[in-house]
Structure 1
Amino acid sequence: MLSIPYWHVDAFADRPFAGNQAAVMELDAWLDDAVLQAIGAENMFAETAFVVRNGSEVSDWELRWFAPEAEVQLCGHATLASGHVLLSRDPGLERVRFQTRQAGVLEVRRQGAGYEVGLPAIATEPGAFAEAVAALGETPCEVWRSPLGYNVALYEDEATVRALSPDFPALAVLGGQFIATAPGRDTDVVSRVFVPGTGIDEDSVTGSAHA
């Protein structure tokens, strides 16, 4: 029977049982995609991260992320979680670089008592998306869209974002990631992220949404 090392990491958190949970699993070589997807579905976290050592000139590990129902193209919190696992094993290591399938090379490095992660900027443009607006349940001030499937709905205030009660089945049919955001009362921004097409109605903290 195959035995795979497994870590459960609370990312974007300063205490247990907070932030966003990710599973990190280290493989000797890539398993079939169907097996990776089945593991992601059984773990039932927003993402399960799989890492395979490669040691190339530009990266140290390969990294892929699987939500319960699909592989995703970019995941911030599971990248941070993977970096935490690997850097924790080697106190002398300052950074770890990941080669991904669709997001290029990502780096996690030590920063004080924590870490910082570099994510690629995701270009968006203003664009109408009436079906998504209807599914979100409130009309935003602006809608911005990316060909990569990121859809940003900018609302006037934090209260509106907090009160949203989306039609998740309708969003799942549309596919992609739906980011509802507004200026915050006590922070620069507030955001909620809905990705029902991958099996996650609402993600608790989403690094890629801020890229």
Structure 2
Amino acid sequence: MKLYQIDAFSKSVFSGNPAAVCPLEEWLSDTVMQKIAAENNLAETAFYVKNSDNYEIRWFTPKIEVDLCGHATLAAAYVLFHFENHNNNLIEFYSPRSGNLTVTKTGDLLSLNFPADTLEPIPLTSQITDGLNIKPIQAFKGKSDYMFLFNNEEEILNLDPNFEKISKLAVRGIIVTAKGNNSDFVSRFFAPQSGINEDPVTGSAHTTLIPYWANELNKTQLSAIQLSERRGYLECELLENRVRISGYAKCYLIGEYFL
């Protein structure tokens, strides 16, 4: 069976966020897909099945199935556009957990259209911030994650997370963010409880980040950098109750796996 490895939110290999993409004729069992994702040992493996005019898509970390994944959706779209004979510039995905998701292609730029997250402020308790060596100035809770606001980009770079403590929080992961020096905002994402200590580039986290920073900066089009070791560069736009997350991708590997 065919497998692709794509570096998403990057113009070159060895940066951005690597995702595995597995096109399927029909769904494998949940157990087998989880084992494939564990064997791939990447932040996410995307599986999709063509269904009439759209593609049903699901995402697995090495440990769990997740509700939404941006970079692996971008990677799956790249595979369809470049290798799997999708013949127009719009792809309609459907996720049983997140609904309708589209990807459009403009030249080499791929744009995800995802539902925007909703945020509520929460108290800055030691229980939720104990895993960070620098204390945030504000805390929020989205659908899946905590989001912590910091004073500046340097604090985001200097964070040294305690993954054991973070793994005990009852959320998918934590987003840390601040205004950027060379972009509108920067972020990092830690999710040891989902099997990923630090995700290189997290498209789904930007469904939370974009509405927040659009409101804070009073603008709907934003530039973002995820400050992981591999770095990720995203062009973002708020579209009322949805967001557009755009970036580039490169193919690193095409192979086969055997069941």
Q: TM-score, normalised by structure 1?
A: 0.93
Aligned partner of 2:105 in structure 1 is 110
Q: Does 1:195 align with 2:191?
A: yes
Q: Could you list the runs of 5+ residues in structure 1 that have no partner in the other structure?
A: none
Note if 1:54 corresponds to 2:23.
Answer: no
Report the counterpart of residue 83 of structure 1 in structure 2: 77
The answer as to 2:5 corresponding to 1:8 is yes
| Letter aligned with residue 77 of structure 1 | H
Give the corresponding residue for 2:18: 21
Shift of residue 132, structure 1, vs aligned partner? 2.1
Give the 5 Å matches for 1:1-211: 4-55=1-52, 60-89=54-83, 90=85, 92-128=87-123, 130=125, 131-146=127-142, 148-174=143-169, 175-211=171-207
In 2, distance between residues paired with 1:47 and 1:25?
A: 11
- Amino acid paired to 1:95: L
Report how many aligned residue pairs link the two structures: 204
Q: Distance in 1 between matches of 2:38 and 2:86?
A: 32
DSSP-derived class of the 1:83 partner: helix
Amino acid of the structure 2 residue aligned with 1:125? E
Residue identity opposite 2:61 in structure 1: A
Question: By how many angstroms is 1:149 displaced?
Answer: 2.2
Stretch of structure 1 that moved more, 67-76 or 82-91? 82-91
Q: 2:9, 2:17 within 8 Å by CA — same for their partners in 1?
A: yes
Whether contact under 8 Å (2:173, 2:194) holds in the other structure is: no
Distance of 2:141 and 2:205 partners within structure 1: 12
Structure 2 CA distance for aligned equivalents of residues 103 and 207 of structure 1:
14
Moved over 2 A (4+): 89-92
Identify the residue that residue 225 of structure 2 maps to in structure 1.
Answer: none
Q: Distance in 1 between matches of 2:40 and 2:6?
A: 13
The structure that is strand-richer by fraction is: 2
Cα deviation for residue 129 of structure 1 reads 5.1
Q: Which residue of 1 aligns with 2:211?
A: none
- Higher RCO, 1 vs 2 (CA within 8 Å, ≥6 residues apart): 2
Partner SS, residue 102 of structure 1: coil
Distance 1:91 1:63, change over 3 A: closer
Deviations along 1:126-179, one digit per CA (max 9) or x if unpaired, are 012522211122211110102x22110000111111111111011112142200
Contact 2:57/2:93 (<8 A) preserved? yes
User: Please, which runs of 5 or more residues in structure 2 have no aligned partner?
Assistant: 208-259
- What is the CA RMSD across the aligned residues, in angstroms? 1.3
Q: C-alpha separation between the residues in 2 aligned to 1:159 and 1:99?
A: 38
Kept in 1, the 8 Å contact 2:80–2:86? The answer is no
Q: Distance in 2 between matches of 1:101 and 1:201?
A: 26
Identity of aligned residues (%): 39
Deviation of 1:92 after TM superposition, in Å, equals: 3.5
The answer to whether the 8 Å contact 1:49/1:79 transfers is yes
